[in-house]
A and B are shown apart, each in its own frame.
Chain A
Amino acid sequence: MRYPLETKQLTKRFKDGDDTIEVLNAVDFQLEQGSFTAVVGPSGSGKSTFLSIVGALLSADEGQLIVDGKDISTMKDQQLSDVRLKSMGFIFQSANLIPYLTVKDQLQLVATLNKQTKKQSLEKIKAMLDDVGLSHRINHYPHQLSGGEKQRVAIARAFINDPAVILADEPTANLDEERSKEIVALIKQEVKANNKAAIMVTHDESLLTYCDHVYEMDHGHLKQR
Chain B
Amino acid sequence: MFKLATKEMGFSKVKYGLIGLILFLIASLVLIVSGLARGLSNDNIAALETMTVDDFYVSEDSENVLDQSGFLLEDLIAEVERGQGWEPLITQSLRLDHAENESKLAVTLIPVLPSDQLYPGVIEGEDLQANDQLNVVIDQTMKADGVSIGDTLHAEDLELYFTVIGFTENQTYRHAPVIYMSEEAFYVEEISPHKVANAVVLTESNEEVRKTISATLADGVWVNRSDIVDAVPGHSSEQMSLNMMIFFLIVISVFVLGAFFYILTIQKLNQFGVLKAIGAKNKFLIGTTLLQVCILTIISLTLAVLFTWFTSTILPEGMPFDFNLLNIAIYTGLMLIVSLLGALISSRRIIKVDPQQAMGRAE
Contacts and interface: CB of A to CB of B under 8 A. Distances in A.
A49 B140 CA distance: 80
A113 to B, nearest CB: 5
Contact of A93 (B278, B356, B360): B360
Contact of A84 (B4, B271, B277, B284): B277
A51 B271 CA distance: 20
A57 B358 contact: yes
Interface stretch (A64-72, A95-103, A189-197): A95-103
A90 B358 contact: yes
B363 interface: yes
B278 A113 contact: yes
Residue of A52, A82, A96, A100 with most partner-chain B CB within 10 A: A96
A57 B279 contact: no
Given A57-B277, A85-B278, A109-B4, A96 B362 contact: no
A100 B11 contact: yes
B266 interface: no
B11 A57 contact: no
B275 interface: yes
A55 B7 contact: no
A110 B361 contact: no
B359 A94 contact: no
B233 interface: no
A45 to B, nearest CB: 12
A52 B279 contact: no
Interface string A125-167: 0000000000000000100000000000000010001000000
A57 B281 contact: no
A51 B359 contact: yes
A89 to B, nearest CB: 8
B218 to A, nearest CB: 79
A92 B363 CA distance: 10
Given A55-B359, A81-B280, A92 B274 contact: yes
B279 A94 contact: no
Contacts of B280: 81, 85, 113
Contacts of A74: none
Given A57-B277, A57-B358, A90-B277, A113 B284 contact: yes
Interface string A46-63: 011101100101100000
Interface in A19-54: 47-49, 51-52
Interface string A166-179: 00011001100000
B359 A110 contact: no
A93 B281 contact: no
Given A92-B274, A113-B279, A157-B278, A52 B356 contact: yes
A48 B362 CA distance: 12
Contact of B8 (A52, A88, A100): A100
B192 interface: no
Contact of A114 (B271, B276, B279): B279
A52 B271 contact: no
A57 B356 contact: yes
Interface of B: 3-4, 7-8, 10-12, 270-271, 274-281, 284, 355-356, 358-363
25 contacts: A48-B360, A49-B360, A51-B359, A55-B277, A57-B358, A81-B276, A81-B281, A81-B355, A92-B274, A92-B358, A92-B359, A93-B360, A93-B361, A93-B362, A96-B274, A99-B271, A100-B7, A100-B12, A101-B4, A101-B7, A105-B3, A110-B279, A113-B278, A113-B279, A169-B360
Interface of A: 47-49, 51-52, 55, 57-58, 78, 81-82, 84-86, 88, 90, 92-94, 96, 98-101, 105, 109-110, 112-114, 141, 157, 161, 169-170, 173-174
Give the top 9 A-B pairs by smallest Cβ distance, nearest first: A85-B279, A48-B360, A100-B11, A57-B356, A94-B363, A96-B274, A100-B8, A84-B279, A58-B356
